[in-house]
């Protein structure tokens, strides 16, 4: 769900109750909370978790999801942008870089 914020900008929120999906969202929230403030990612604005339902709210940013499967030009843009921040990658996987957040 997309909604405007009173302070300006937009919020993108979603929720889940299915156990596997809820677990995925809980992990996403935990990782997002640990990212440094300077990370070039949408900010986690808040969560709701009653043990059954979970909801997450992120700042909405301009952009779109990449095609599935990814197109070479889209992958190249991501690697050029993220590469200096996350290490080097090759077509066979990561070759060097920092450890993951979790």
Per-residue pLDDT tens over the stretch 29-85: 999 999 888 887 899 999 999 999 999 999 998 888 888 998 999 888 888 877 666
Say if domain 1-63 classifies as CATH 3.30.413.10: no
**Residue of higher predicted confidence among 97 and 86:** 86
Domain ranges of the chain: 1-63, 64-96
pLDDT at 99: 52
Distances, alpha carbon 27 to alpha carbons 7, 79, 82, 91, in Å: 27, 24, 21, 27
Contact between 48 and 54 under an 8 Å Cβ cutoff? The reply is yes
* Cα-to-chain-centroid distance, residue 1: 16
């Amino acid at each position: 769900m997309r909604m405007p914020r009173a302070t300006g900008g937009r919020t993108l929120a979603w929720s889940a109750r299915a156990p596997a999906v809820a677990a995925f969202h809980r992990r996403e929230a935990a990782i997002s909370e640990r990212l440094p403030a300077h990370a070039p990612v949408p900010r986690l604005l808040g969560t709701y978790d009653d043990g059954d339902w979970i909801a997450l709210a992120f700042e909405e940013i301009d952009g779109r999801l990449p095609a599935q499967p990814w197109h070479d030009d889209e992958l190249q843009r991501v690697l050029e942008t993220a590469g200096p921040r996350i290490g080097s990658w090759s077509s066979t996987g990561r070759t060097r870089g920092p450890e993951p957040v979790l």
